[in-house]
Amino acid sequence: MSSPKTNGREPVYLKLANALEGMIANRSLRPGERVPSVRQFSRQQNVSVPTALQAYATLETRGLIEARPKSGFYVRARLSDLIREPRMTFPATPRSIQLGVDDPVASLLADHADKRLVPLGAALPSAELLPGVRLARIVAAIGRRLGAESVGYDVSPGHESLRRELSRRSLDWGCALHADDFIVTVGATEAVSLALRAVCKPGDTVAVESPTYFGLASMLRELQLKALPIPVHSATGMDLDVMERALRKTRVAACVVIANFHNPIGFVMPDENKRRLVELCARRDIPLIEDDTYADLQHEGPRPRSLKAFGDADSIVLCGSYSKKLAPGFRVGYIAAGRWQPRVKALKQASTLSGALLPALAVAEFLKNGGYDRYLRAIRQAYRQQVDKMREAVVESFPPGIGLSRPKGGFLLWCELPSNVDAIQLAQQARAAGISIAPGPMFSPVGEFTNFIRINCGYPWSPQIERAVGVLGHLVARMAGRNNERAKRRNSEPTMS
């Protein structure tokens, strides 16, 4: 028997299961609480008993509820809810530092390209979650329509159809940007790089979050810029008190932040903190560069506002891309550089001159007519479920003493390991076991977070991923145990008098 449908699309049971999952996620239904009986739920929702039962079975499969004999269904208590958030220690006063020569980006991307490795390292989503087939059809249709012109340049600032869609989307970001405010870039990487080149010169110091996206350290290194690492809290983001103290002692040429669904932690900076950060930079005339790449991927509720919504938009440079949301290989990004727009346009023309026309037009068409909002609802739910499953699996497989981030969006998890576990060594052992992970020191300009790892949750849960998490947990426990034994032996050795 086929499942009942809603508007010919989503099965009714799945719609009900997703609604209940949302109530569990936002704590309207708490662990240990009884959910309505199947018959009661079917009456409440005006559906058949089999449909209500199928919804409950779906939630059981997801590990969110459990049946108790002669008692009914209850919200399952999750071990991961009891785990503390990561604890990160920092120097009392941050200082500007010159970056080293090691660049981890190439090795991590190479690992992702190796199909023999379980991809828990690079922050890339699974192709099966992305609308690749629909985008391919759109590209084919545009190619037929344009004919020979489809191989032409997408000359800077980029095709107007895409910039118009970005302008329309900016209302969701809390801004009202015009099409002329945008320049299309080769992903967010080029956007942030152009922003730094526009506002800084070699030898300048840039305030950055710590931890932060490891690609930013690569950019600073290549542009001969220094980093001023500002600590972040795992729930609220950059420590603005530390930032304010640091700015009294250090001249800063720019500040780069990921305020919405931070990479690697996944927090959202609260609105009051965003406003304070904007005001703090505005008082000192410090250009504020925001990487907003993950902001469409909230797990629930409305999309968080960008920093441009909290101050003078001309003093804030907004960068983003559709790599994490639609098509990593299309490399379609954007920058709205405010008063630095002419400089960014000149730099863009001098470096990459233009972008690829077909990918830009395909993204524009998908944003306009491809059901982007409906697609986002589905992928947000998928990422939320995958992050929840990964959190639960890590807690079940790893030894005591860990800390886990509680991402509010995106698909990344920041994990604190026992203090005597070296993340670099763990990554090497994991790779030998066929698993790619990202060790914590990659996310620090000064090599901190030696007992942290970032885990990619961008792939649907599978037996292969479940096994990989189990192997990781075994490796962590073995390393922690061995190091404990070594420490005990050292402490028991007689000392020379």
Calculated CA dihedral for residues 235, 173, 328, 188, nearest 10 degrees: -80
CA distance 167 to 386: 31
What pLDDT score was predicted for residue 115? 82
pLDDT in tens, 222-279: 999 999 999 999 999 999 999 999 999 999 999 999 999 999 999 999 999 999 999 9
45, 46, 50 from 19: Cα distances, Å: 11, 15, 17
Q: What tens digit of pLDDT does each residue of 186-200 get? A: 999 999 999 999 999
Distance CA 459, CA 436 (A): 13
Q: What is the pLDDT of residues 21-74, one digit of tens each?
A: 888 877 788 777 889 999 999 999 999 999 999 999 999 888 888 888 878 898
Angle at 336 between CA 334 and CA 337, to 5 degrees: 125
Q: Mean pLDDT over residues 6-19, rounded?
A: 79
What is the Cα–Cα distance from 166 to 156, expressed in whole angstroms?
15
Tens digit of pLDDT for each residue in 448-486?
899 999 999 999 999 999 999 999 999 999 999 887 776
- Residue 100 carries which DSSP code? -
Query: pTM of this prediction?
Result: 0.84
What tokens were used for 81?
């809810």
Going from the N-terminus, what domains does the chain have, and what CATH number goes with each? 5-77 (1.10.10.10), 128-372 (3.40.640.10), 374-492 (3.90.1150.10)
Q: Nearest CA to 478 among 436, 418, 431? A: 418
Average pLDDT on 321-330 reads 95
Give the amino acid at 379. Answer: I
Q: What is the DSSP letter of 408?
A: S
The pLDDT of residue 370 is: 82
How far is 47 from 231, CA to CA, in rounded Å? 51
Side chain identity at 320, as an amino acid letter?
G
Q: How far apart are CA 192 and CA 158, in angstroms?
A: 17
Q: Transcribe 358-379 into DSSP letters.
A: HHHHHHHHHHHHS-HHHHHHHH
Tokens standing for residue 349: 């023309």
CA 266/CA 123 separation, integer angstroms: 12
What H or E segment, with its residue span, contains residue 227? strand 226-233
The pLDDT-based confidence of 343 (bands split at 50, 70, 90) is very high
pLDDT of residue 7: 44
Question: If you average pLDDT over residues 410-429, what whole number do you get?
Answer: 95
Q: Give the whole-angstrom CA distance, residue 68 versus residue 50.
A: 19
